[in-house]
Every structure is written in C-alpha cells, then in structure tokens.
C-alpha cells in the first residue's frame, strides 16, 4: 500500500489555489439525477469520493464524462433506481442519492450505508423526513426499500441540523406537490451551493444558509451549468499546516468567511492573518501560543471536519488547548497516532486536552480516517525527522494529491 514519506521541520511558503468542495460536489452530483438532461459542473475535484459518486450515476444510467476539473452528467435516461451494496459501502455519504432517486423514479432501493471510522452514522433523520413527505419505507436485512406514495409538501422539523438529512429532504421535496419547509435546517455553505444549483435547474427553493428552507415542488428541468464552491475544509487544512510549520502561505480562490472560526483560532495562537477578496495570507513564527477551547458545532460554529487538523497545530503550540467534539461520537482516532509522534494528549469522552510545546518527532503512523489522516500529515510536517504515513487512501478521499500541494509550499514529502 502507498504511503507518504515526510521529512519535517521546514517552514512553508508560497501560494495554494483551493479546489472545489468535496462536500458540495457530492450532493450536487446526486442532484443531477433530479434534473433530467445535461448538467455541466466546473471546479470538480478529482477525489476518490467523487469517483465513487460517478460510479453510482453510471450505474443508474447516466452518461458521465470528465475533462479536467469539469464533469458533465447527462441524466436524460435513468434505467435503475437501486444502489448496490458495494457502491454504498465505497462512500458512506452515498445515502444522499436516496432523495433524488425517489424524486426521479418514485422508488429507490439502497443498502444502509453502515458505519464508518467516525461512528455508527445513523440515517434516522433522513428516513423520518422522507416518510413525512409521503414515502413508504421498509428497512429489511440491511436494505432500505422506498416507494413514493402521494408525495405532498409538509413542514419537516429536524431534531438536529443534519447536513445530509437537509440535502436529502431538499432533493425529495422537489417532487412533492405544494410547499415543503425544512425547519432547523443545516446552515453549512454547501447547502447554499446545492440550492444555487437547484435554482439554476428551475427549482423554486429559497432560504438555504438559514435555518428554514422552503421548496415548492414541481418537475422543472433545464440543462444547467454550475461552478462548485471552494472547499473550506481543504482551506482550513492548509492554513493549519502553515500555522504548525511556521512560514508565509497564501490561499487563493477561497471564501474567507467560510473559515472564520479557523482563522480566529489561529490568530489567537499568534498567527498573522490577512484577507483580501478571495485570498487569505497566513504568517506564523514557531512556536505558537495555545488556543482558546475548540468546540465543534454545526455551521457557523467550528467545523468538526477541521478538529483533527487544529489538534495537530495545538500539539506544536506552547500551552494547553482543550477540544470538545460535539458532532461525532468517535472523532479522536488520530490522537493515538499523534502520541506516537510525541504529542501529549488526554481524552475523556468528547473532551481532549492537548499539552502542546514538547517537540514532535517523526514516526511510523497510520491514517485512521480522512481528516485524522490530514492531521498526521500536518504533525509530520512540523516534527523533526522522518515520518511515514500509511493508509493514505483515507486522505485521498478528500484531498487531490496532497503531496503535490505541500511540495509546492516547500515541504519535503513524497508518495511511495
Ligand atoms: C456531512 O456529513 C459531511 N459529509 C461530513 O464531512 C461532516 O463532518 C458532517 O456533514 C458535519 O458537518 C458530507 O457532506 C459528504 P450530519 P453528514 O448528518 O451529512 C448525526 C468529511 O470529513 N445524525 O450533519 O453525514 C450523525 O451521527 C465528512 O468531509 C443522526 O443522528 O453529517 C452525526 O453525529 C465527515 N441521524 C451528526 O448527526 C441522521 O439521520 C452530524 O451528522 C443523520 C445524522
């Protein structure tokens, strides 16, 4: 299996162009199932998860081509309404295809996505919302069998602002008669990007970015072109790498307001951050100071997807930083691997206490999940000596050639 070999201890300097957002392109690829016709998506990162989503679209009958960062989906003909288990298991968020397949075909058959490294990943909020919209759902032997009855718009109150449940409900509601209101909707920027795509297809949908989204059902369809928004978690990752290593790094083509909680935490740690339009510049001298407590929350709170990367920064900072992971049950799997590099971290339930400042040293470590793997890369870049990071298929799910980007910033990193 390939691994990343990193010789750490070097400052980073240079400019990075941020890619399109993984967590936006995935629901929008699923949404092309609803918009029968030609869907041209620009700024699509070439990631393992995107390749998995494209496999599902082709399985359903879509014609999908890629030219550079542009993916074209012709969904004029949909021949199937099921997603087989092997494809469901390739990418846990494949459940996002449930709503669009029901909207287009009136029925759907998926297998339960199963758990992942972060915990059981239930989908009860998705299924409750779809049932309220008139979908008959039978869960049998790991399969989810859906049959659309009379689909009518309703008020859907989410007990938790789940990103995926918000997206699935938006997509299913396009096929409902009347108005669907999603109350306590997720407010992540990727939801607004999905709304913008759906509006371009002719859908009558408003409110994304706030806690209440309204969808007026109607089978509109229109050949559509859309540019995927920048990846705020990729941006957060490279900002954390620059902070942990020290140096002077500029991110281009990003949305600074989407990473406000990350830049303010890093500023508290002593980084000098300046914003100009769609660019962010971070300058840092090592060692940083410890940061205020990091509490992960639904957007606009601190993103759970940047918790591990921020923990790697905290390991290099002088002092104690406290983490509270409020979103996922099991999102500290990177802690044990960071400790192999000399980090001092104590975990109790959802709380992790990082006593930073002791120098990190290179080690053999293994990525445990996508963002935990990114955290190990950051720590290895800041550590003295050589590290070898294994299981990097986790990292390739969410970062396009991470070693190429970091090498361009002066890191000594190679894929073996
Ligand atoms: C999306 O996952 C993202 N994935 C995740 O990013 C991200 O961590 C998460 O939102 C939170 O921001 C994509 O967009 C593809 P949720 P999703 O539904 O939709 C519980 C990454 O690293 N829950 O908001 O699955 C769930 O167990 C990935 O890029 C239920 O209990 O997240 C979790 O504790 C990781 N029942 C919490 O809600 C449900 O029906 C947040 O889940 C659904 C969720």
Q: How confident is the model at residue 114 (pLDDT cuts 50, 70, 90)?
A: low
* pTM (predicted TM-score): 0.97
Show the ligand 1 pocket: residues with CB < 6 angstroms. Answer: 22-23, 26, 93, 121-126, 160, 162-165, 186, 304-305, 327-328, 370-371, 398
Q: How far is the CA of 387 from the centre of ligand 1 (A)?
A: 31
Task: Look at residue 141 in the predicted model and tell me its pLDDT.
Answer: 86
Q: What is the mean pLDDT of residues 337-346?
A: 98
Q: Is residue 323 predicted with pLDDT exceeding 80? A: yes
Q: Is residue 241 predicted with pLDDT exceeding 90? A: yes
- What confidence tens digit (pLDDT) does each residue in 133-152 have? 999 999 998 899 999 989 99
Task: Look at residue 330 in the predicted model and tell me its pLDDT.
Answer: 86
Bridge-based pairing of strands 247-252 and 212-216 is: unpaired
The active-site residue out of 44, 62, 105, 116 is 116
Query: What distances in angstroms separate CA 237 from CA 122, 165, 399, one per listed residue?
Result: 27, 26, 10
Atom of ligand 1 nearest to the CA of 164: 19
Q: What is the mean pLDDT of residues 364-385?
A: 97
Q: How far is the CA of 51 from the centre of ligand 1 (A)?
A: 20
- What confidence tens digit (pLDDT) does each residue in 10-55 have? 999 999 999 999 999 999 999 999 999 999 999 999 999 999 999 9
Annotated binding residue 92: yes
Task: Look at residue 236 in the predicted model and tell me its pLDDT.
Answer: 98
Task: Look at residue 14 in the predicted model and tell me its pLDDT.
Answer: 98
Which residues 6+ apart lie within 8 Å of 86 measured at CB?
none
Task: Look at residue 115 in the predicted model and tell me its pLDDT.
Answer: 61
CA-proximal residue: ligand 1, atom 34 (nearest): 328
Beta bridge partners of 324: 295, 351
**Is 271 part of the annotated catalytic residue set?**
no
Annotated binding residue 22: yes
Q: What is the mean pLDDT of residues 274-303?
A: 97
Q: Is residue 90 predicted with pLDDT exceeding 70? A: yes
What proportion of the chain, given as a percentage, has pLDDT over 90? 92
Q: What is the mean pLDDT of residues 195-211?
A: 97
């Amino acid at each position: 299996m390939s691994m990343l070999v990193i010789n750490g201890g070097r400052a980073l300097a240079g400019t990075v162009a941020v890619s399109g957002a993984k967590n936006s392109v995935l629901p929008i690829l699923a949404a092309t199932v609803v918009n029968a016709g030609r869907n041209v998506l620009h700024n699509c990162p070439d990631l393992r998860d995107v390749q998995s989503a494209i496999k599902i679209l082709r399985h359903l009958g879509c014609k999908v081509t890629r030219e550079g960062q542009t993916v074209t989906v012709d969904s004029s003909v949909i021949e199937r309404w099921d997603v087989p288990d092997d494809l469901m298991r390739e990418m846990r968020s494949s459940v996002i295809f449930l709503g669009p397949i029901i909207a287009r075909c009136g029925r759907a058959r998926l297998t339960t996505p199963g758990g992942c490294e972060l915990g059981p990943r239930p989908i009860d909020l998705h299924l409750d919302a779809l049932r309220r919209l008139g979908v008959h759902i039978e869960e049998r032997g790991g399969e989810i069998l859906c049959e659309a009855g009379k689909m009518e718009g309703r008020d859907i109150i989410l007990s938790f602002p789940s990103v995926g449940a918000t997206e699935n409900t938006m997509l299913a509601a396009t096929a409902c008669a009347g108005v669907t209101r999603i109350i306590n909707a997720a407010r992540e920027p990727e939801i607004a990007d999905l709304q913008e795509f759906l509006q371009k297809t002719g859908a009558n949908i408003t409110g994304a970015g706030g806690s209440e989204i309204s969808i007026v059902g109607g089978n509109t369809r229109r050949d559509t072109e859309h540019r995927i928004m920048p990846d705020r978690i990729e941006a957060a990752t490279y900002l954390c790498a620059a902070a942990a290593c020290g140096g002077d790094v500029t991110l281009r083509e990003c949305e600074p307001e989407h990473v406000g909680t990350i830049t303010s935490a890093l500023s508290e740690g002593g980084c000098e951050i300046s914003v100009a339009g769609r660019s962010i510049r971070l300058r840092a001298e090592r060692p940083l100071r410890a940061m205020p407590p990091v509490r992960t929350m639904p957007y606009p709170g601190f993103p759970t997807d940047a918790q591990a990367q921020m923990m790697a920064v905290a390991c290099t900072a002088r002092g104690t930083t406290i983490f509270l992971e409020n979103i996922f049950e099991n999102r500290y799997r990177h802690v044990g691997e960071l400790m192999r590099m000399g980090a001092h971290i104590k975990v109790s339930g959802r709380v992790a206490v990082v006593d930073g400042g002791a120098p990190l040293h290179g080690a053999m470590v293994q990525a445990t999940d996508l963002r935990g793997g990114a955290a190990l890369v950051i720590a290895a870049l800041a550590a003295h000596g050589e590290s070898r990071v294994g299981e990097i298929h986790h990292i390739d799910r969410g970062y396009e050639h991470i070693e190429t980007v970091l090498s361009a910033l002066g890191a000594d990193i190679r894929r073996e």
